[in-house]
Amino acid sequence: MSQPEVFVGGQDWDTIVARTGEDTLVVNMGPQHPSTHGVLRLVLELDGETVVNAHSVVGYLHTGIEKNTEVRNWTQGVTFVTRADYLAPFFNEAAYCMSVERLLGATPPPRAQAIRR
């Protein structure tokens, strides 16, 4: 039996639990779970050890990286943003470096400009 598609966000727990069966259990897996890489939350409906339903929510980063970069110099900050999401580190690095360059009024060297295009 197929269930209607449910879009899951941050304040959805009561809605999800209300849709579940009487013999199932709803649990969160993530965003803190190691297998979710820090950016994925799964709301799982379990019947014993069997996953009956799964709803995914992407976009979580609860690692304190923003606060850590406040007390580092700009070159140390690059390593923090790289580790924020290791599935797409180059996007974080590029955004961080371009922000620092803009704040400092610095022009990146020609090679850096060519790589970014």
Helix axis angle for 89-104 and 74-84, nearest 10°, is 150
Task: Please report whether residue 4 resides in a domain.
Answer: no
- 50 with 71, same domain: the answer is no
**Lowest-confidence range among 27-36, 67-76, 99-108?**
27-36
Same-domain check for residues 51 and 77: no
Question: Structure pTM?
Answer: 0.49
- Residues 27 and 50 grouped into a single domain: yes
Instruction: Verify that 82 and 54 share a domain, yes or no.
Output: no
Q: Do 106 and 87 share a structural domain?
A: yes
Domain that holds residue 99: 65-116
Q: How many domains does the chain have?
A: 2
Residue 5 lies in a domain: no
The mean pLDDT of 93-99, rounded to a whole number, is 88
Residues 111 and 73 in one domain: yes
pLDDT of residue 103: 92
What are the tens digits of pLDDT across the range 1-12? Answer: 455 555 555 566
User: Residues 45, 73: one domain?
Assistant: no
**Across all residues in the chain, what is the average pLDDT?**
78
Which pLDDT band holds residue 29 (cuts at 50, 70, 90)?
Answer: confident
Same domain (yes/no): 69, 93? yes
pLDDT of 62 over the 60 cut: no
In a domain, 2, yes or no: no
pLDDT tens digits, one per residue of 66-93:
788 888 888 888 888 877 776 777 888 8
Helix (H, G, I), strand (E, B) or coil at 4: coil
